[in-house]
Chain A
Amino acid sequence: MIKTQRMSRIRITGPKNNMKKLIGELHSLKLMHLIDYKGKDFETGNSFAEAEQVSDKLVKLRSMISHFNLDLKPRIIKDLKVCNGKFSEIHLKYMELNQEISVLTEEKSLLNSKKQSIEPFSSLNLNSNHFFGFNSITVFKGTVKKPLTEQEIKQITNEFEFFSSVYKGKNIIALFIPNKNKEKIHLLLSEYGFNELNFEENSDLNQINSELNSVEKKLSSFNSQLNSLKEKEGQFLVDLEYNLEKENEKLEAPLKFAVTLNAFVIDGWVPEKKAKEIKEKLKVLTKDKIFFEELKDKKNAPIAMDNPSMVKPFQFFLNLYSLPKYTELDPTFLVFITFPLFFGFMLGDVGYGIVTLLAFIFLRGKLKGEARLLVSSLIVASLATIFFGFIFGEAFGFEFVEHPILNRAHDLNTMLLISILVGIIHITFGYIIGFYNVLIQHGLKEAVLEKGSWLMIEAGGLLVLSEMILGMTSFGNIAGGLLLFLGIVLLFKGEGVQGIIELPAILSNTLSYARLFAVGLASVKLAVIINEFATEFFNQGGIFIVASVLILLLGHFVNILLGLIGPFLHSLRLHYVEFFGKFYKGGGKPFLPFGVEKN
């Protein structure tokens, strides 16, 4: 629980004819984290011959799945060979349908653009043949930005035929003039923002419309065929993709192995507890034809956190930050204890706690993965909120107990003192864990210099401070001062000037815990203001009662949202910055056993 799962590095050597069997078994065991072979003495293996075929199929499958936008739960297929025929059939049909659809779509867009250029002229009562077949006459047909009148044209020539109308808010014109006036008219029209519309001779709007209609009918029939293919075979496609992916993993596994002409070496990590079991299983499977080594080396072991189910959700906070190193303690359990306490201390309201608890229990059923972990951890935090709500005697900002154990809106100094004390304890704890971590990694001397020095500085500072406040004897001053001095000397030896520069941080870190009560104070003040506001309205009676209820609902809703974000972030920050900063390095790589799905 406090340590991450202990790992063993194992190396399996065997003849190549056993390789496939072994890969299959490792894949179904889901216990071994494979290490890529990076050495130079041997070659890395090649994937099995079928791999190419399988990955080709996977590419096709994935493009179909993403096209169909399938979001189904995959099921296990026992016999993949049976699926081959069915898959090629479906894929062929899919390709045919797609081909048809793309041809028809192109046709449709062509027809549409034709339609768009000829349709406006239907409002002029001219058909397409009227525009063609002239030798000495030039035709201008199209749209102009501002209306053109015959008067303007008459200034250039009297020989013309002019049609104009408005179609869908655009000015449509058709102008027939002798060729000789072509340039002048062109200039005139360009002033009016003329835009030519082109179409072919003999294009008939009715015919285009009927063609468009038939294309659309065909298109919708193909689309519905494609849709029924999706409905009918979607599940199969998803299943096949899932199973082929697993198959592919197995086929490509040798890429991680070192091989010789006739033998292979598999290198990887397994949980220490399981090493023996795996060894037995593999030996039985290969009739004792493999050589199984357990190495002493623990460097770079992957990280699998090992926590009881109550604590597990809090692994979220470590995933978010950085996984612990193999030699570090896993602080999840500590976060499990202090995170809800801090959160509850800040929000501390029975009413808010119950609302958030119900909301998170509802949400938990809807989510999976990381988000589910987060919500589960917040459920614990909500319970703590209710607990502190009783201590503070608050529900929705109302003080439902006359003399609560602690009145946080009034006993500011007590609250501040508690916060700082919690901070001192938390930070001290951080240094103690840090001491242990350094002790394990680098030995006693380093631990005393790096972390012990801080502990001394902290203790010495506290002694001096308490003497200053209580002021009874000078013993504390002398002992504290000595301790402080010794601590600083050791720190300087351990961390150099950098350590000295960091000295004031211990004060700011401790004071930082004042947020524990500050955030809560803001939240409770806001709640009180909402309540007072609502009461004011309520006393006016009549319609104001409705307004008062609305204020209560909306106000507390907003305050709960703020009350979730604030305490969450601040509690997280206290852990990440003030607490983890004392001992946590992180940077571990996750344990991803062969055969486990990545998402």
Chain B
Amino acid sequence: MVELELGLIAIGAGIAIAGSAYAAAIAEKEIGTAAVGAMAEKEELFGKALILTVIPETLVIFGLVIAIMILGLAPAH
């Protein structure tokens, strides 16, 4: 039974990462498109465009933190 538990924990951690990464990807796609568009008009915006584009990356970090916390539930072996 321990095997199954471990597997479920691993899947849970995986979902935490996958979900947050997917969410970040969608957000970055939208922002990135707009940012490149704005930069085509005004090249000096690169710095600001970069910041706006990477803002959603934090989502994955949250996912990772959650994943590590979930993995912490795993029984020591």
Q: Which residues of A pack against B, CB within 8 Å?
A: 320-322, 412-413, 416, 508, 511-512, 514-515, 518, 569-570, 572-573, 576-577
Task: List B contacts of A573 (CB < 8 A).
Answer: 50-51, 54-55, 57
- Residues on B with C-beta less than 8 A from A515 are 57-58, 61
Determine how close the nearest CB of chain B comes to the CB of A166; give it in whole angstroms.
50
A-B contacts, 8 listed (Cβ < 8 Å): A320-B46, A320-B50, A508-B62, A512-B58, A514-B65, A515-B57, A570-B57, A576-B51
The total number of A-B Cβ pairs within 8 Å is 46
Distance, CA A164 to CA B50, complexed state (A): 66
Chain A residues within an 8 Å CB radius of B55: 573, 577
Q: Contacts A320-B46, A508-B58, A570-B57 given: A514-B64 contact, CB under 8 Å?
A: yes
The 6 closest A-B pairs by CB, nearest first: A320-B47, A321-B47, A573-B54, A576-B51, A512-B58, A514-B61
With a CB–CB cut-off of 8 A, which chain A residues contact B57?
515, 570, 573
With CB as the reference atom, state the residue of chain B lying closest to A569.
B54
- Residues of chain B lying within 8 A (CB to CB) of residue A321: 47-48, 51
Find the A residue at minimum CB distance from B68: A412
Task: Write out the residue numbers on chain B whose beta carbons fall within 8 Å of the beta carbon of A412.
Answer: 68
**Please, which residues of chain A bring their CB within 8 A of the CB of B47?**
320-322, 576
Known contacts A320-B46, A572-B50, A576-B51, A518 near B64 by CB under 8 Å: yes
CA A111 – CA B73 in complex, angstroms? 85
Q: Is the interface of B mostly helix, strand, loop or mixed?
A: helix
Alpha-carbon gap, A514 to B48, bound state (A):
22
Interface residues contributed by chain B, number (CB under 8 Å): 16
Q: Given contact pairs A416-B68, A573-B51, enumerate 17 new A-B contacts (beta carbons under 8 Å).
A: A320-B46, A320-B47, A321-B51, A322-B47, A412-B68, A413-B72, A508-B58, A511-B58, A512-B58, A514-B64, A514-B65, A515-B61, A570-B54, A570-B57, A573-B57, A577-B54, A577-B55
* Cα of A298 to Cα of B28 in the assembled complex, Å: 41
Cβ contact within 8 Å between A416 and B58: no
Contacts of B68 in A (CB 8 A): 412-413, 416
Q: Which residue of A is nearest B63, CB measured? A: A518
Cα–Cα distance between A412 and B60 once the two chains are bound (Å): 16
Give B61 Cβ to nearest chain A Cβ, in Å.
5
Q: Among the listed B46, B50, B51, B65, which residue makes an inter-chain contact with A511, where contact means beta carbons less than 8 Å apart?
A: B65
- A512 (CB) vs chain B CBs: closest residue: B58
B residues 11-69 touching A (CB-CB < 8 Å): 46-48, 50-51, 54-55, 57-58, 60-62, 64-65, 68
Task: Give Cα distance in the complex from A508 to B62, angstroms.
Answer: 8
Known contacts A569-B54, A573-B54, A577-B55, A512 near B61 by CB under 8 Å: yes
Give Cα distance in the complex from A518 to B54, angstroms.
Answer: 15
Q: In the complex where A320-B46, A508-B58, A515-B57 touch, is A577 in contact with B51 (Cβ < 8 A)? A: yes
Enumerate chain A residues within 8 angstroms of B48, measured Cβ to Cβ.
Answer: 321-322
